[in-house]
Amino acid sequence: MGGLPIDLILFAMVAAFLVLRLRGVLGRRTGFERQAEPEAAPVPATRGPASEVDIGPKPSQGGARRAMPDPQSPVGEALMQIQKRDRSFDPNRFLDGAETAFGMIVEAFARGDRASLKPLLSDDAYAGFDQAITAREAAGETQRTELRSVEESGIAAAELRGSIAEITVRLVTDQINLVQARDGSIVSGAEAVTEMTDVWTFQRDLNSADPTWRLVGSTAA
């Protein structure tokens, strides 16, 4: 009736929902902040100033085993610097968000859903995903990915360069992941559940009002 096509409106609504969901999970505030009342949570004197910040392991949202860096390690100190610049940052909640983002991205990639991928990736990362989807489409192949569980998650590296924060996470997941040809034959992967290890790097400008951490790089270990 002269307005926007209904399918474009629905597509935009779905994309907006995914972005808001990712922002909400990655940006929540919990324990990674200096304690207002240190006496209520005493720490050993030998731990030093890093003990004022809680980056100990906590259960993940999906029950995965979680690995957190020692507060006095280079990675732990980098997380403290990020927290100083962004008081709402919490590494445990960040990992919750990374697990959620991982599922959203791998499933959107399998569907070839570019609209869902674009807000969650840096421009360079999106270009790589888009190229892979285009090649798959040209070959007439389809990808099926089922993320069954996240078994392990942890922060492997962290860095703050000016206002740009980067955090690398290691995720061990159980997946069914396969690519099928036009005739339905399996080109790669298998129907069986397979344990996979991925290393993903997320980035955010801490000076930006946008709280979204975007994927800038991914590798399979």
* For the chain, domain boundaries: 6-33+55-220
Q: Is the pLDDT of residue 187 over 80?
A: yes
Q: Which of 140, 138, 148, 144 is nearest to 194 (CA)?
A: 148
What's the Cα-to-Cα distance from 164 to each of 72, 168, 202, rounded to whole Å?
21, 13, 11
Q: Is the pLDDT of residue 170 over 60?
A: yes
Count of CA atoms in the C-beta half-sphere (13 A) of 215? 30
Q: Is the pLDDT of residue 15 over 90?
A: no
Q: How far apart are CA 71 and CA 79, in angstroms?
A: 8
Report yes or no: 97 and 74 within 8 Å, Cβ to Cβ: no
Least confident of 9-18, 39-48, 71-80: 39-48
Tokens of 67: 């690995």
| Summary mean pLDDT of the chain | 80
Q: Which of 147, 126, 54, 57 is nearest to 95 (CA)?
A: 57
Count of CA atoms in the C-beta half-sphere (13 A) of 131? 6
Q: How far apart are CA 177 and CA 106, in angstroms?
A: 10
CATH of 6-33+55-220, one of 3.40.1260.10, 3.40.309.10, 3.80.10.10, 3.10.450.240: 3.10.450.240
**Model confidence pLDDT, tens digit, residues 124-147:** 999 999 999 999 999 999 999 999
